[in-house]
Amino acid sequence: MSVDLLIPTNYQVHLFHEGNYFESYRLFGAHVIHTNNKLCTRFCVWAPNAKNVQLLGDFNSWNGTGYSFEKLNNEGIWMLIVEQDLEGSYYKYEITTSNGEKLIKSDPFAFYSEVRPNTASIVYTLDGYQWKDQRWLQMKNRKKVYSNAMVIYELHIGSWKKKEDGTFLTYCELANDLIPYVLDHGFTHIELLPLVEHPLDISWGYQGTGYYSVTSRYGTPHDLMYFIDLCHQNNIGVIMDWVPGHFCKDEHGLHRFDGTYLYEYETVMDRENFTWGTANFDLGKTEVQSYLISNARFWMEYYHIDGFRVDAVSNIIFWPNSENKENTFGTDFLKKLNKTVFHYDSSVLMIAEDSTDWPQVTAPIHYGGLGFNYKWNMGWMNDILDYMESHPNERSKLHEKVTFSLMYAFSENFVLPFSHDEVVHGKKSLLNKMPGDYWEKFAQLRLLLGFMMAHPGKKLLFMGFEFGQFSEWKDKEQLDWNLLDFEMHRKTNDYVKELMKIYKRSKPLFELDHLSEGFEWIDVHNYNQSIFSFIRKGNLEDDFLVIVCNFKNHTYEDYIVGVPKAGSYREVFNSNEIQFGGTGVVNKKVILAEDKVFHGKPFSIKMTIPPFGISILRPVKHRKERKGNGKEEVRSNVISRRKGKQA
């Protein structure tokens, strides 16, 4: 056996220490390697301050005698070659620190782990899965993400749905149940709460110990590949929540890995994340940069992940426990991360969960930005929920809560989020945030969702909103599926499906999401009635929608709205339809615009405004006005053929 083939190259080691080895998972961890017609298993770990490292496992009765690692060239990298195929074996590292303390650690680069509460790593070969998503990958690379519809369904695998005995669905079972559900509702993407291995269920994956190890709660790595593959075959993108800012302090994990603060900052105030009880990654350490950026690359390569929602960006760009003091290590890391990810795949979604007003989060790095392509609009989310939770009679005093977001809506590429964070810890569900009686709650939920779809920005919603879950998210239980036995919840579910359809087939609602040219107020000053009217525009000059939102429980007959164009208007969507649980106050007939200036527009229409409702109107296009749909050309060719002419 040629051992030289198994030893890391000097170039690999150099890049890792330099912070530029973005495929570190090929070097570190456990790898079954075929060489000279034999199989062996190579173990490699970074522990520069260790005195000794031994391999413990079920193959040696958890006794490391005779399984000592060799330190390579005093570079802090330890390696051991076991001349056996240890695929499926359980293992850990016994690390002797400089002061003689013995630490039993899981492998930071393990690809698979024991089901909690056990914590051993498992030798697992990721190769071998036959992907069938080539068509998706080709389409994704051609797709212009900024000018396309995007509605993300955020979910926690462990509590979306459970088996009858209360156990978790596996990744494969989830694929069979979730994908048809997502298709039926019209979501374009699924976002999964962190998939990394984590010891505590109630951390939801945000306090991880195994960044390269798919949580075994729901199955094997190949099972997750099957789930993502099937999503792609059904044209559904998959985004994962990812936490490069801090990690779990459980003793088997990264914390004090070799007896020193190896992965985390050295000083207490920088290291300790007192809010979550975790340790903050030392983002200025080049080896940590290699570890984390390699991790993003790993999920892209092996799991075909389409995007990352990067958690707690504010905890990265500012020093922890400081008064908003910039952490240049953090900002430099984010720029390096985004630059590297887009180098490998320009179609990946890099979404910053950032609650600060840090400028140019989604601007390119060469223009001074952080390089993300999307940012959560936390300001919009907080403002609109404050507005909706207020009594309708008080909303005239909070008018700016609705209008202020349009002052900065085009300063970044935004995702509008109603995430899991807004429906836990006593915050109540979206439905139950709405004031008023039973009917009013549902009406306002429909209005809120409609306004969200009409507002510039891509969309994200947490599971359960789509049928009006009354209770807030209970992470130990499945969603309240029994609510679909009740009429108003079924009608809410029907409403969401129809709302998705109108959103996805209406280019003005997404085509110019990130450009001010795509939005225009009609009436922004109606404080007393809490009615807002505006225009959403597509690329074509005559492709626009008129949207009117009424945030009070009053009906208004012959309400005048200024419009930019003469002709007829048809109401294409109304949240007050009886089939959605509304009162049926809608605009059934075509509305003819009058040659009368109103709201600063050259024409105006008279319409009925439903209570707690959103109305979407589209100008009626006569046949000769319909451009770009190919019908004129088809009709001309048919006529020509009938006359015996060559088309």
pLDDT digits over 263-297, tens only? Answer: 999 999 999 998 889 999 999 999 999 999 999 99
Q: Among residues 106, 122, 138, which one ends one of the domains? A: 122
Q: Inform me whether the pLDDT recorded for 69 exceeds 60.
A: yes
Structural domain containing residue 344: 149-429+458-505
Average pLDDT over every residue of 189-208: 93
Query: 353 an active-site residue?
Result: yes
Q: Are residues 69 and 208 in the same domain?
A: no
Report the b/e string of 559-595 with b at 16+ CB within 10 A: bebbbbeebbbebebbbbbeebbbeebbbeeebebee
User: pLDDT confidence of 624, banded at 50, 70, 90?
Assistant: low
The total of other beta-carbon atoms located within 10 Å of residue 251's CB is 12
Amino acid 6: pLDDT: 73
Domain count of the chain? 2
Is the separation of the CB atoms in 539 and 511 below 8 Å?
A: yes
Computed over every residue of the chain, the mean pLDDT equals: 93
| Residue 443 domain-assigned (yes or no) | no
Report the distance separating Cα 112 and Cα 125, nearest Å. Answer: 9
What does the pLDDT read at residue 625? 54
The answer to whether residues 285 and 373 belong to one domain is yes
Give the model's pLDDT for residue 336.
98
Residues 374 and 318 in one domain: yes
Q: How far is 599 from 562, CA to CA, in rounded Å?
A: 5
Residue 62, in any domain of the structure? yes
Q: Model confidence over 454-502: pLDDT tens digits?
A: 999 999 999 999 999 999 999 999 999 999 999 999 999 999 999 999 9
Residues 496 and 376 in one domain: yes
**One domain for residues 107 and 225:** no
User: From the candidates 133, 154, 270, 311, which is the catalytic residue?
Assistant: 311
Do residues 206 and 255 share a domain?
yes
Determine the average pLDDT of the residues in 216-226: 97
* Across 544-573, average pLDDT: 97
Of residues 154, 191, 270, 353, which has the active-site annotation? 353
Beta bridge partners of 307: 239, 349
Same domain, 114 and 156: no
CA distances from 72 to 8, 75, 110 (A): 9, 6, 20
**Judgement on whether residues 114 and 186 belong to the same structural domain of the protein:** no
Q: Kindly report the CATH number assigned to the domain that includes residue 49.
A: 2.60.40.10
Q: What pLDDT shows up at residue 73? A: 78
The reply to whether 132 falls in a domain is no
pLDDT of residue 646: 37
Tell whether 184 is covered by a domain.
yes
- Residue 644 reports pLDDT greater than 70: no
What's the token pair of residue 450?
């409609």
Domain for residue 438, yes or no? Answer: no
Q: What is the pLDDT of residue 5?
A: 54
pLDDT at site 36? 78
- The DSSP letter of residue 634 is H
In percent, the amount of the chain with pLDDT more than 90 equals: 89
Q: Taking a C-beta distance cutoff of 8 angstroms, is the pair 309, 191 a contact?
A: yes
Is the same domain home to 108 and 160?
no
My answer on whether 116 and 153 are in the same domain is: no
Q: Is the domain of 183 the same as that of 323?
A: yes
**Confidence class for position 134, pLDDT limits 50, 70, 90:** very high
| 104 and 13, same domain (yes or no) | yes
For residue 563, give every residue at least 6 positions away whose Cβ sits within 8 Å of its Cβ, in sequence order, or none. Answer: 522, 546, 569, 593, 601, 603, 604, 605, 619
- Predicted confidence (pLDDT) at residue 642 exceeds the cutoff of 50: no
Burial category of 554 from C-beta neighbours within 10 Å (exposed 0-12, middle 13-18, buried 19 and up): middle
600 within a domain of the structure (yes/no): no
Residue 311 annotated as catalytic: yes
Does position 225 have pLDDT exceeding 50, yes or no? Answer: yes
Per-residue pLDDT tens for 575-615?
999 999 999 999 999 999 999 999 999 999 999 999 999 99
Domain contains 169:
yes
Average pLDDT score over residue span 352-368? 95
- Residue 228 domain flag: yes
